[in-house]
Every structure is written in structure tokens, then in C-alpha cells.
Amino acid sequence: MTTLASPQQRHPIQGYTHMADDVIRFSHVRFGEQETTQDKVIVFPDGVPGFERHKQFALFEDPNSEPFQWFLSIENQELGFVVINPLCIWPEYDPKIGKEDLKSLEIKDTNEILIYSIVTLSDDPEHVTANLSGPILINTSNRKARQLALLDDRYTTKHKILDAETV
């Protein structure tokens, strides 16, 4: 456990507060004040493509958004991604993940893997899509993550979620 001189110490990253009991509180424009624990923070060592400066995210469930979840940046209150576990709606989803990708996240056992796809929302539900060619791979043991760029022509960046049974 981290020992701090005061009960609360402001982190140099705007909107991020680290508590003495390893509770992290941060603000997000959509969800307001949030909290998580250090052991639940997902770290993208290289950042998320297009957002490389932002490396720490928390995964949140919003009952009003199921089966979707949210990756919220704990470093930037305006950054968050809607995600879904692609296996929930595409049970046959079987991306070809390279050994180097597994090695970069220190994955030694497939039981350590969580996978998510970033969702692109639309006012028209017919146009809500999931990026199956760029899954987010998470090592559940060390909480390191990467968004992959698959070289797998079975998947694209815009799979319509309402057409899930056609994948």
C-alpha cells in the first residue's frame, strides 16, 4: 500500500486524485466524479493509437449502456471510449493474435486475456459499429493493454452491431 503524508494528495495530472488507500478519484465530462482502485487501472504503455499521451484508463460498466462498457481516461476528463467484449455478440470471433503482441503484454497463458472492441456510436442504431480489426487486448495479471492492428481480412473497423449474426 502507498503511504502518503496527507490523506489526499493531488496528482500532477489534471482531474486525477490519488487517495491514501489506493482509491483513485477522477472526473469525466459524461459521468462526473468517478473512483476506482489502483489495482483496476488498465495501462496502455504505448497509449491508444491517436491518443498516445494517455496511458491510464479505468473500465466502467453503466447499467444504462449494457452490453457496452466504457474505457475512461483517468488523465483526461474528456477522453473515453465505448467498448464491448466482441465475444458477447460474435461468439465465433477468433482474431489471429501474433506472438509478439502476446509477448509485449507479458501474456503467458490465454486465461490472462481480456478482449474488447471500440464501438463507434451513431444516432441511428443501424450505423453503430465495432472495430473488430483493432481489438484491445488486456493482460488481466498485470493490467497492461494494447490496441492491436490485425492483419486479418475477415475483420474490419466497422462491423455493424445489429448485423452481428452475419459475421
For 65-77, what is each residue's pLDDT tens digit?
Answer: 888 998 888 888 8
pLDDT at 13: 35
- Helical H segments across 1-106, by residue range: 86-89, 99-104
pLDDT at 8: 32
The position carrying cell 492483419 is 151
Q: Which residues of 4-14 are buried (b: 16+ CB within 10 A; e: fewer)?
A: eeeeeeeeeee
Kindly report the backbone phi and psi dihedral angles of residue 146, in degrees, each rounded to the nearest multiple of 5, phi listed first. -150, 145
105 and 63 in a common domain: no
29 and 106 in a common domain: no
77 and 99 in a common domain: no
Q: What's the whole-number mean pLDDT along residues 79-90?
A: 92
Between CA 133 and CA 129 the distance in angstroms is 12
70 and 94 in a common domain: no
Give tens-digit pLDDT for 10-41: 333 334 444 445 887 777 777 777 777 788 88
Between CA 80 and CA 99 the distance in angstroms is 28
Q: What is the CATH number of the domain that holds 3?
A: 2.30.290.10
The position carrying cell 488507500 is 21
Looking at 48, 81, 114, which one is the last position of a domain?
Answer: 81
Q: Structurally, how many domains does the chain consist of? A: 2
What is each CA distance from 130 to 31, 137, 160, 162, in whole angstroms?
22, 15, 7, 10
Q: Which residues of 142-153 are buried (b: 16+ CB within 10 A; e: fewer)?
A: ebbbbbbebeee
77 and 1 in a common domain: yes
Give tens-digit pLDDT for 114-157: 999 999 999 999 999 999 999 999 999 999 999 999 988 899 99
92 and 76 in a common domain: no
Looking at 52, 81, 110, which one is the last position of a domain?
Answer: 81
